């Protein structure tokens, strides 16, 4: 029997036009996903980013009031590098995002607004591969996104959204979780890798606060290493992995 961790990854479905990526913080998508996003926008697909917070608690040496706007600018620039022009912020508080109806409602509102077939989010489980403890924001936002994909289609769960003119959208066909320790699918990262590196580099303030390494060496090293590791399960092609939940 093949262990799940060594299983071959299937290509991600490509019969869709609109994707919505929902994560907790600026940089969550750039740490691994953006090569896939570049491939999708190259193919003429639309991708929208929604961030639960502005990442204002992410840099120890910066007050949240200064940090939030800075990280918002960096996030918009980094999205633009991979062809994403719409970036929304839900303004939950960084570090203490709560899983619950308010978060599900805000994400369901975005799903109804942008009507995606594919929803992307980040690892919602307790740990990263059973080794490192995940942050509460990632867990809350990942879970709420998986739930909101269904909530968005139900007229009666958040009737206030319909009153705001956001009609139910039951068209989400898959939720794909990045950074999962049980991935099932992958996207070829070859063509998007260079832009993925530049996209992560746009989070310069964050990276400079995080490491003494040269930012480009750091960004390129991290993304190349991860994509090549994933590629071992994707016919040797560098890749971005997802755990796909069909709906």
The nearer residue to Zn ion, 29 or 82, going by C-beta atoms, is: 29
Cβ pair 228, 103 in contact under 8 A: no
The nearer residue to Zn ion, 58 or 168, going by C-beta atoms, is: 58
Q: Which run of H or of E encompasses 10? A: strand 10-11
Stretch that binds Zn ion, among 17-25, 32-40, 88-96, 164-172 (CB under 5 A): 17-25
Whole-number Å distance between alpha carbons of 84 and 233: 28
Cβ pair 97, 53 in contact under 8 A: yes
Q: How many CA atoms lie within 13 A of 5 on its CB side?
A: 4
Q: Is 164 exposed, middle or buried (0-12, 13-18, 19+ CB in 10 A)?
A: exposed
Find the shortest distance in angstroms from Cβ 88 to Zn ion. Answer: 17
Find the shortest distance in angstroms from Cβ 158 to Zn ion. Answer: 25
The nearer residue to Zn ion, 24 or 161, going by C-beta atoms, is: 24
Stretch that binds Zn ion, among 20-28, 143-151, 176-184, 224-232 (CB under 5 A): 20-28
Across the chain, how many H-helices and E-strands are there?
8, 10
Total residues contacting Zn ion by CB under 5 A comes to 3
The nearer residue to Zn ion, 25 or 71, going by C-beta atoms, is: 25
The nearer residue to Zn ion, 124 or 220, going by C-beta atoms, is: 124
Strands (E) in 37-81, as ranges, are: 46-51
Cβ pair 20, 114 in contact under 8 A: yes
The nearer residue to Zn ion, 112 or 138, going by C-beta atoms, is: 138
Stretch that binds Zn ion, among 9-17, 19-27, 183-191, 232-240 (CB under 5 A): 19-27
71 binds Zn ion (CB under 5 A): no
| Member of 9, 19, 25, 241 binding Zn ion (CB under 5 A) | 25
| Member of 28, 117, 147, 151 binding Zn ion (CB under 5 A) | 28
Which chain residues interact with Zn ion by CB under 5 A?
Answer: 24-25, 28
């Amino acid at each position: 029997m093949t262990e799940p961790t060594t299983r071959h990854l299937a290509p991600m479905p490509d019969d869709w036009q609109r994707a919505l990526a929902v994560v907790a913080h600026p940089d969550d998508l750039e740490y691994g996903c953006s090569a896939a996003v570049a491939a999708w926008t190259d193919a003429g697909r639309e991708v929208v980013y929604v961030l639960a917070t502005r990442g204002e608690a992410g840099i120890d040496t910066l007050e949240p009031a200064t940090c939030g706007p800075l990280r918002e600018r960096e996030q918009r620039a980094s999205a633009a590098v991979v062809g994403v022009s719409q970036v929304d912020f839900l303004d939950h508080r960084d570090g203490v995002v709560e899983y619950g109806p308010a978060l599900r409602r805000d994400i369901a509102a975005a799903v109804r607004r942008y009507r995606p077939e594919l929803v992307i989010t980040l690892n919602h489980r307790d740990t990263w591969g059973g080794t490192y403890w995940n942050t509460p924001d990632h867990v809350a936002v990942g879970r709420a996104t998986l739930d909101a994909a269904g909530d968005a289609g139900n007229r009666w769960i958040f009737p206030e959204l319909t009153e705001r003119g956001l009609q139910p959208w039951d068209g989400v066909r898959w939720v794909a979780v990045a950074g999962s320790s049980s991935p099932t699918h992958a996207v070829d990262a070859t063509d998007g890798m260079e832009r993925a590196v530049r996209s992560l580099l746009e989070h310069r303030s964050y990276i400079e606060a995080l490491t003494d390494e040269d930012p480009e060496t750091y960004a390129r090293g991290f993304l190349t290493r991860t994509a090549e590791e994933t590629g071992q399960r994707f016919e040797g092609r560098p890749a971005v992995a997802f755990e796909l939940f069909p709906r």
